[in-house]
Structure 1
C-alpha cells in the first residue's frame, strides 16, 4: 500500500506553461482523503515551491518539500537549509577553473540572488523561473568566500553535453552532476540528490521505500524514481529516466501526475 507520493515540479506536476492543472490539484486533494502523504521534490528552492503551492491553493496538502535537488527540506512547515550538504567553495573554484573556457555562464544561488559570472539568455531563463535578482561578478572567483548549495552551468545543450562528458571522465570526482534541463547542468555535493533526501525522510518517518510513489521527468529524478516501489516517469521524460522507471504515465501536458494517482491509488 502506498503511504507517500512525491512528485517533481517542472515538466511533471507543472505543464509546459508552468501551470498546475485542476486535474492534478484534485488528485493531490484525494491523496489527503486517503491519508496518503504528499510531497514535492524539485531543483527549485523551497521558497519558490511554497509560492507555487500557495498560488494554486494546495499548500495545505503538502506534507514534505525537497528543494534545490536535495539540499533543502521542509517537513510540516519547518524549513531546513542543510548547509552540511552545500558544495564546497574549493570544489566550485576547481570546476570553474576547468570549464570557464567554454561558452557558458556560471550561476551560484545565494538565497534570493543569482551570482553569475556573466549574463546571457540562459541566466535570464533561470532568473525568470525563480523571480530572483541577478548580480554579475566577472571575476567569479572573488564570489567564492563560502560554500553554496549548488553551481549551475548554463548554455547551449550541445556545449553542456561536451562538458558533461569531460566531467564523467574525471577520476574520483568530489562532486555530483546532472542535467536538470537541456540548458542547465548542475553541480552539487557528492551526497546530495532528491533520492538521498527522500530516503532520509522515509527512514525518519518509518516508511518503507517500497510504499513510495515517485513521479519525475528528468535525470535529476532518477535516484528517487529508481529507489521507490512505484517509480513513475511522465511520457515526456528523458529516455534515461524512462529506463529506470517501473511505470509510464501521461505527459505533463496531459495531467500525467493525476493519471498515475488514478491508476495506482484511486
Structure 2
C-alpha cells in the first residue's frame, strides 16, 4: 500500500497507560515524517488536550478533534466545526444526571466535568459524554438517545457513551482531510481501539486495531497490532509505512 497519511487515535492507541508516547512510537513517527507521510491525530479529545502532543512529535499536518467535531491545522486555523443543539445537550445532561451517570461535555471554550452552565444556549457544544460501570444504565441511556435522529453515538471505552451531531465521525473528518491534501482514503493507515474509531478503520486503506482494542474493532480491522503498552502504533508504522 502507498501510505501517505497515518491517522492515530490517542488514548488506548498512540498513548500508553501513562498517557505518554513511547520512545519507540516517537521514533517510528519521526521516520514516517521524514518520508513526507502526514501524521494526523484523530481523537475524541479537544484541541487544548491534544495539541501539546502534536507539538512534541513535531507534527505539521491537520488535527481531528472531538471525534471529528472539529478539524484544525497545526497553526490552529479552524477548518471545520460541527455543533450539537444546546437544547439537546441540556436534555442529555439532565437524563444522565437523573440516572446518576458521570458526565463530561465539551464546549468550544472548556470541558464541563459533572457540571453544567446556567444557560446551555450561552455555549457552543461539540460533544457530550457520560460513563458508568453499570452496563444496564449505559444500555438504557443508549436506548433513550437512539430516538433522536440528530445524534451520532459511539464510545471511547466500554464504560462510556460519546455523542456528536449526526454524521460526524473521525472517518468523515478524515475524508475531508484527504481531500484537502489531495489523496484518497486508500492512502491512509488508521489505528484505533474503540467504537469512535471503527468507521475510519473500515474506510482506511489499512485499518489497524490495537491489541487492546474492543472486539468489534478487531473484527473489522485489516490488521491487529500489539497493545498500546507494547508500542503497537510504532510496530504498525514499521510494517506498513517504513
- What residue number does 1:161 align with? 139
What SS class does the counterpart of residue 221 from structure 1 fall into? helix
Shift of 1:243: 1.7
From 191, 200, 208, the counterpart of 1:215:
191
Answering whether residue 99 of structure 2 is matched by residue 102 of structure 1, we say yes
- What residue number does 2:128 align with? 151
Partners of 2:124 and 2:201 lie apart in 1 by 28
Structure in which a larger fraction of residues adopt helix: 1
- What residue number does 2:215 align with? 239
Partners of 1:81 and 1:109 lie apart in 2 by 18
For residues 133-152 of structure 1, what are the structure 2 equivalents within 5 Å?
Answer: 136-137=115-116, 142-152=119-129
- What residue number does 1:31 align with? 32
Deviations 1:69-127 (A, max 9, x none): 111212242331744x11011222333455543121333223453335x4xxxxxxxxx
For residues 193-232 of structure 1, what are the structure 2 equivalents within 5 Å?
Answer: 193-232=169-208
Partners of 1:90 and 1:258 lie apart in 2 by 42
What SS class does the counterpart of residue 126 from structure 2 fall into? coil
Shift of 1:157: 4.5
Answering whether residue 227 of structure 2 is matched by residue 251 of structure 1, we say yes
What SS class does the counterpart of residue 13 from structure 2 fall into? helix
From 170, 173, 187, the counterpart of 2:163:
187
| Native 8 Å contact 2:83 2:125 kept in 1 | yes
Q: CA RMSD in A?
A: 2.1
Partners of 1:52 and 1:34 lie apart in 2 by 20
Structure 1 stretches lacking a partner, 5+ long: 119-135
**Counterparts in 2 of 1:21 and 1:103: CA distance versus 1, 3 Å:** same
The structure showing larger relative contact order (alpha-carbon pairs under 8 Å, at least 6 residues apart) is 2
**Counterparts in 2 of 1:142 and 1:33: CA distance versus 1, 3 Å:** closer
**Normalising by structure 1, what TM-score?**
0.82
Mean Cα deviation higher: 188-197 or 159-168: 159-168
**Normalising by structure 2, what TM-score?**
0.90
From 149, 154, 174, the counterpart of 2:150:
174
Shift of 1:215: 0.5
Deviations 1:12-54 (A, max 9, x none): 0101111111000001111122221111101111221111233
Shift of 1:141: 6.6
What SS class does the counterpart of residue 149 from structure 1 fall into? strand
Deviations 1:240-262 (A, max 9, x none): 11122111111101000011011
**Counterparts in 2 of 1:177 and 1:33: CA distance versus 1, 3 Å:** same
For residues 76-95 of structure 1, what are the structure 2 equivalents within 5 Å?
Answer: 76-80=74-78, 82-83=80-81, 85-95=82-92
Deviations 1:165-202 (A, max 9, x none): 4434x2x6211111112333111101211110000111
- What residue number does 1:127 align with? none
**Counterparts in 2 of 1:157 and 1:192: CA distance versus 1, 3 Å:** farther
Partners of 1:235 and 1:157 lie apart in 2 by 25
Partners of 1:107 and 1:7 lie apart in 2 by 23
Deviations 1:186-221 (A, max 9, x none): 111012111100001112222111111000011100
Structure 2 stretches lacking a partner, 5+ long: none
